Amino acid sequence: MGSGNGSTTRSSTPTPSKISSPWPSSDILTSDHVCRSFENDIARAGVAEKPSIDHARETWEEQSSQQKGIDSGKPRWKYYTAKVLWFLQDQWFLAVLGILIAIASQVQVPRAQQQLKETVVSYVAVSVIFFITGCTLPTKVLIENYSRWKIHLFVQVQCFLMVSAITFAVVSLCATNPDFMDPWLLIGLVFAGCVPTTISSNVVMTRQAHGNTALTVVQSTIGNFLGPFLTPVLAQMYLSGGAWYTKVLPDQVGGYGNIYRRVFKQLGLSLFVPIVVGQIVQNLFPRTTSTVFARWKLNKLASLSLLTVLWSAYDQAFESGAFNSVKASNLIFIVFMSLALFVVFWLICMALSILWLPKKDTIAVAYCVPAKTPAMGIPITTTLWVGLATINESKIQIPMVIYQGFQIAAGSLLTILFRRWVRADEEKEAQSKAAAQ
């Protein structure tokens, strides 16, 4: 970048590494100025490189704010205030989710309208997420990730077998006092370990963390395809061992036909159809798609749609009154268990993935393995056991809802660490592409 006499020149091809260093802090530049030519290059190249725009902007804003805080001699409290404001801006999703949960705890959709709300959210909001995913994922990358059978086996074995076995073992060790714990909560905790990974939040979080979004889409799809078959079998296996907390379950088990029809209908209409339509739109109108989703930032609609899905889940949980029917000590136990289990699952899958997978693939696995989906777990609980009272069904669902809160909060915070982790690799990749051009 520097010339032979030591002067500094600006490169005509912006890359993340060149964005962060060539201009002194006294230059009157903003992240928009720095990224404008970069975005033009991306618009010509296609949306597949869109994460590099975010990376360039994040790198410039973070480093320039730090440099300004140091060079200007401002008081430290202003520097740290700026850092806090940057964190809140970066983690706006988590802040909005907290507000929505607070609203859901006080005001709920009337019970008569709950089914309509669930149908609209399940199909419309989720469809928006996967339409955007289809518009921003290169077809070639998506097909290549579907062919990686070794990593499919690696992820699904962990998600279904490893997670469910650890959950059952921990519950068995802790469930020693029938007078302390509500048996329905323990059943719900075991059941939560058997359900497949979530789809919507995995895709959104992986994209924000600069991981392999295509791999996340593939793994989430496979997991939810296997879920209706594996979840009831695993739940029956763990809950038929004669433990004291399983005595409350009815002997009769419902048929699986309704589960299959409901799940595969939702997968088809809210996942496969939108992503295929998005792929068609991307290949027919590549420049327009790039402009809309990369430059105009309309991919943020995926995050807003996910917030709608999460609000719906908590609205239903609070409307059922399940939280009010459980002792505070039991809720505290479920909260700590959910937090501990998530950390254990995340550490195990990260440790195993780092041994043989690239960083971006490891990020995708780290979001898929620990995550669990109430969207499939809740309908299975209402169909699997016949004759349960509504309040008991709600109690079974409480651990899934609480665990979902932790996985979303942790996933949002982890995007910061993951982006920094892959930063060097993204810079090298951008430099290589720039050199090739």
Q: Which residue has the higher pLDDT, 364 or 10?
A: 364
Using the predicted structure, report yes or no on whether residue 42 has a pLDDT greater than 50. no
Q: How far apart are the first and last CA of the chain?
A: 17
**How do the domains of the chain map onto residue ranges?**
16-88, 91-427
Reported as a single tens digit per residue, the pLDDT across 363-384 is: 999 999 999 988 778 777 777 7
What local confidence, expressed as pLDDT, does residue 351 receive?
A: 97
Reported as a single tens digit per residue, the pLDDT across 252-271 is: 665 667 667 777 787 788 88
Question: What distance in Å separates the CA atoms of residue 294 and residue 135, rounded to the nearest whole number?
Answer: 11
Using the predicted structure, report yes or no on whether residue 26 has a pLDDT greater than 70. no
Reported as a single tens digit per residue, the pLDDT across 265-315 is: 877 888 889 989 999 999 999 999 989 888 888 878 888 888 888 898 888
The pair of three-digit structure tokens given for residue 54, joined into one six-digit string: 């975010």
pLDDT band of 154, cuts 50, 70, 90: very high
Question: What distance in Å separates the CA atoms of residue 348 and residue 165, rounded to the nearest whole number?
Answer: 13
Cβ neighbours, 10 Å, residue 238: 22
Mean pLDDT of 353-361: 96
What local confidence, expressed as pLDDT, does residue 7 receive?
A: 43
The pair of three-digit structure tokens given for residue 212, joined into one six-digit string: 């392999």
Kindly report the pTM of this predicted structure.
0.76
CATH T-level assignment (fold) for domain 91-427: Na+/H+ antiporter like fold (1.20.1530)
Report CA torsion sign: 104, 406, 397, 330: negative
Reported as a single tens digit per residue, the pLDDT across 57-108 is: 555 455 555 555 555 556 788 888 888 888 888 888 888 989 999 999 999 9
Question: What distance in Å separates the CA atoms of residue 349 and residue 161, rounded to the nearest whole number?
Answer: 13
Using the predicted structure, report yes or no on whether residue 43 has a pLDDT greater than 80. no
Reported as a single tens digit per residue, the pLDDT across 172-226 is: 999 888 888 999 999 999 999 999 999 888 998 999 999 999 999 999 989 988 9
